[in-house]
């Protein structure tokens, strides 16, 4: 969205590469913020992946190319800062400090500036590599994912980067709303540990470490993927009402309470697996949906997009998934991704 939306008038600078930071500021741009992407002479590394990849993280932004290692680049940065509300930086801590991208360094140019440092491990943790999959491995995500007794696994998308981007955008807005400038830190490690909320609480309070359950929920049973006569079905039974409706349709008797189902997990899973083998995943989905039982056939991304065509938008000639925010004035029109240095080039 350009020039309109609830964040119209908010001026945000972005310095960063690839995913977490650019995703954070794209969400803000989608809501109407004026986002200026400050790129190094060679541009954001995501430009080297593909044009569509870059567009998926940078639609609706402006691009200024600066060499922050030079006095001229620093002077131009300070000019931009004087007219900005916030700066979001997604670099390693040493680079953030070296290029003067902290609140303390920029306060003389704009005391009300909100500075967000989005890093892997935190500003005081050094420059250890912090790519998405590394953080997922280090924070327990990979250890929880996969089949019992099998190897740890990673999800097929960048969950740590995307989650940290959302958190960084929220933190930025919270500080802007406060009316005070200042420094905010968001790191991928903290975001992923935060998202392990109930698992972490069980360990910290009850000494109960989480187990790898093949994607099954730790508390609700049955709540996982099941094979069917054709395809897999996600079933998520969270309370006894859902179970009664499902059990009646599937012809399963007993296990009427949540506590009983949790205590007899293996027996319940075996009964459900046997029952679901009688129909296909899409067949079960069609049967359970009118009963309001939470269930969905496993679809590929192309199938999912075909089923939700309203999520696809056009931005500068690229077809992309649009903003996740729905409501009056919250969607479109979407601006194109900027060419490198399109709005200013100091190299």
Q: How many Cα atoms sit within 13 Å of 52 on the Cβ side? A: 5
Output the CA–CA distances (angstroms, integers) from residue 344 to 39, 238, 313, 334, in the order listed. 10, 54, 27, 21
Rounded CA-CA distance 210/208 in Å is: 6
67 is catalytic: no
Q: How far apart are CA 20 and CA 45, in angstroms?
A: 13
Are 215 and 225 in contact, with CB atoms under 8 Å apart?
yes
From 86, 55, 60, select the one nearest 3 (Cα to Cα): 60
Which residue of the set 51, 161, 190, 306 is catalytic?
161
Residue in this structure with the two tokens 């908010």, named with its chain if needed? 10
The DSSP string of 254-274 is ---SHHHHHHTHHHHHHHHHH
Q: What are phi and psi of 35, to 5 degrees?
A: -105, 125
Active site residues: 161
């Amino acid at each position: 969205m350009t020039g309109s939306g609830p964040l119209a008038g908010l001026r945000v600078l972005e310095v960063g590469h690839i995913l977490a930071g650019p995703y954070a500021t794209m969400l803000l741009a989608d809501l109407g913020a004026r986002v200026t992407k400050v790129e190094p002479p060679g541009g954001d590394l995501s430009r080297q992946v593909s044009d569509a990849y870059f567009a998926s993280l940078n639609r609706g932004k402006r691009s200024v190319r600066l060499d922050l290692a030079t006095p001229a680049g620093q002077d131009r940065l300070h000019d931009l800062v004087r007219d900005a509300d916030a700066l979001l930086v997604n670099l390693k801590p040493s680079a953030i400090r070296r290029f003067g991208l902290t609140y303390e360094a920029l306060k003389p140019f704009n005391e009300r500036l909100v500075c967000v440092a989005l890093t892997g491990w935190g500003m005081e943790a050094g420059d250890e590599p912090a790519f998405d999959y590394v953080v997922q491995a280090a924070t327990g995500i990979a250890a929880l994912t996969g089949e019992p007794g099998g190897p740890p696994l990673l999800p097929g998308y960048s969950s740590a980067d995307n989650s940290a981007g959302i958190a960084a955008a929220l933190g930025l807005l919270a500080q802007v709303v406060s009316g005070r400038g200042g420094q905010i830190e968001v790191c991928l490690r903290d975001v992923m540990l935060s998202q392990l909320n109930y698992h972490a609480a069980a360990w910290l309070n009850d000494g109960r470490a989480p187990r790898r359950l093949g994607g099954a929920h730790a508390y609700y049973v049955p709540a996982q993927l099941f094979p069917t006569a054709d395809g897999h079905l996600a079933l998520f039974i969270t309370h006894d009402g859902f179970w009664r409706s499902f059990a009646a349709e599937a012809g399963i008797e007993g296990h009427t309470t949540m506590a009983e189902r949790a205590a007899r997990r293996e027996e319940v899973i075996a009964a459900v697996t046997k029952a679901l083998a009688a129909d296909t995943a899409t067949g079960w989905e069609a049967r359970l949906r009118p009963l309001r039982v939470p269930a969905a056939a496993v679809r590929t991304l192309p199938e999912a997009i075909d089923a939700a065509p309203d999520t696809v938008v056009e931005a500068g000639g690229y077809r992309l998934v649009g903003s996740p925010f729905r409501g009056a004035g919250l969607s479109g029109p979407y601006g194109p991704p900027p060419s490198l240095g399109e709005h200013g080039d100091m190299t």
